[in-house]
Amino acid sequence: MLNHTPTEIAERSALRINPAKTCQPIGAMYAALGIHRCLPYSHGSQGCCSYHRSHLTRHFKEPVMAATSAFTEGASVFGGQPNLLEGLKTVFTTYSPDVVAVHTTCLSETIGDDIPQIVGEAKRQEIIPEGKYVIHANTPSYVGSHVVGFANMCTSMATYFAKEVKSPRRRTTDKHQINIVPGFVDPSDMRELRRLAEATGLKVTMFPDTSGVVDTPQTGKHIFYPEGGTTVTELQNLGRGVATMALGWWASRDAAIEVEKKAYVPREILDLPIGIGATDRFLKILKFRGGEITKELERERGQLVDLIVDTQQHFHGKKVAIFGDPDHVLALTEFCRDLGMVPVHVLTGTPGKRFGEEANRILGAKAGNIKFEGDLFTMHQWIKNEPVDLLLGNTYGKHIARAQDIPFVRVGWPILDRVGHSLMPTVGYAGAIRLASRMLDALLDRRDRDAPEHQFELVL
């Protein structure tokens, strides 16, 4: 399929071939699902909403509900206010959500619809019932990426719900509450982050929280609004936290800053806790904010260290290529470096010069090809010029892996052709054990496949 990718690399200022990202609204839709009894609402064409719902459904293998303004030619010319007003009326009458989270698309952004004004008109016409809420995030598809859209909706949650505090002296603090913005991760990761934080004795307010929403058990009954998600009350009490931990600079930072602006809650900007180093930093902040590192957490860390020691000879010196969302890629790059591997190709489709700076900081003198706002065509060219032993990334890397005959481990978002990722975490010590085991399995499967008979070993 990719046999004609050339090895000669040419700079492309406009053309993207197989971009390592998708558009903002899909990230906003996923974030909105992390609010309890919230219905995401796509202000644009029906096709956009259908694509975003189906893409999320394919990753989580769960039905994803969302409403749409269903633009036609008339709305495109005269504006989408009538569509949104009618849509909100239908949504509250038919589906009775507690929260409707409106996100824009490229079409509604291009014609310039003023969402706060339209929501104000909906309140004036009493379309929004008492005790119900409509929030919004601007998510133009033609800039940023799905990670940016996720960040914008998370920031909107803080903007609309966090109670404003006039001065730090007037803030009421619950010394046991910690706020966590988990980043664009699977529900399994959110559940693991909560487990780790609560193991230190702290009470967690996580926003958003899709655990219990897009990983629900099969009961034989359809529940339109599952039990999971961050409640409105929890969002309104964000100002009571001792700190807001933003996990991932791209996906979480802005929301933590917004909580700090509104309620003077100090922010802690951290990497996604993938691997031993990043998880250590995560737990150190929890300890600094009043948590306690238990024997059980120390035991989990020790198991990960033991696994790394037992397997370091198989990882040492192996070349790896990594692509995906910037927060994931940087955390994975550090983890691979700590395993003794050599990340030679590191790429994200999301814009931001900080990505290159952080990747260079992690790799130092061993830094290879690093690119932000890149695409998988570039990644394939890099690999053709300098082959690697392992490829890490989402499902879209399978074509490169097949073309170049490279072991491939799926990690990040989206994973469309495998299952289990929404149920088994990648973050924390337990997640690192699972991820390292999968990476080692891929390397050893390749070694067994290629080994001559006399080197076909039975024991690791």
Average pLDDT over residues 272-292: 96
Give the pLDDT score at 360: 95
143-160: pLDDT as tens digits: 999 999 999 999 999 999
Give the pLDDT score at 79: 76
pLDDT band (50, 70, 90) for residue 266: very high
Q: Is the pLDDT of residue 384 over 90?
A: yes
pLDDT band (50, 70, 90) for residue 222: confident
Q: Is the pLDDT of residue 170 over 80?
A: no
pLDDT higher at 15 or 405: 405
Tell me what percent of the residues of the chain surpass a pLDDT of 70. Answer: 100
Q: Is the pLDDT of residue 30 over 90?
A: yes
Q: Is the pLDDT of residue 86 over 80?
A: yes
Average pLDDT over residues 424-447: 96
Q: Is the pLDDT of residue 370 over 90?
A: yes
Average pLDDT over residues 280-293: 96
pLDDT higher at 328 or 71: 328
pLDDT band (50, 70, 90) for residue 183: very high
All domains in the chain, ordered by first residue: 24-143 (3.40.50.1980), 168-214+225-291 (3.40.50.1980), 296-454 (3.40.50.1980)
Give the pLDDT score at 1: 61
Predicted model pTM = 0.94
pLDDT band (50, 70, 90) for residue 34: very high
Alpha-carbon distance of 227 to 303, in angstroms, equals: 33
Average pLDDT over residues 43-64: 92
Q: Is the pLDDT of residue 456 over 70?
A: yes
Alpha-carbon distance of 318 to 389, in angstroms, equals: 6
CA 34, 40, 45, 51 torsion-angle sign: positive
Mean pLDDT of the chain, nearest integer: 94
Give the pLDDT score at 91: 96
Give the pLDDT score at 17: 86
pLDDT band (50, 70, 90) for residue 376: very high
Give the pLDDT score at 78: 75
- Three-class SS string for the chain? CCCCCCCCCCCCCCCCCCECCCCHHHHHHHHHCCECCEEEEEECCHHHHHHHHHHHHHHHCCCCCCEECCCCHHHHHHCCHHHHHHHHHHHHHHCCCCEEEEEECHHHHHHCCCHHHHHHHHHHCCCCCCCCEEEEECCCCCCCCHHHHHHHHHHHHHHHHCCCCCCHHHCCCCCCEEEEECCCCCHHHHHHHHHHHHHCCCEEEECCCCCCCCCCCCCCCCCCCCCCCECHHHHHCHHHCCCEEEECHHHHHHHHHHHHHHHCCCEEEECCCECHHHHHHHHHHHHHCCCCCCHHHHHHHHHHHHHHHHHHHHHCCCEEEEEECHHHHHHHHHHHHHCCCEEEEEEECCCCCHHHHHHHHHHHHHCCEEECCCEHHHHHHHHHHCCCCEEEECHHHHHHHHHHCCCEEECCCCCCCCCCCCCCCCCHHHHHHHHHHHHHHHHHHHHHHHCCHHHCCCCC
Q: For residues 347 and 400, is the Cβ–Cβ distance under 8 A?
A: no
pLDDT band (50, 70, 90) for residue 265: very high
Average pLDDT over residues 388-394: 98
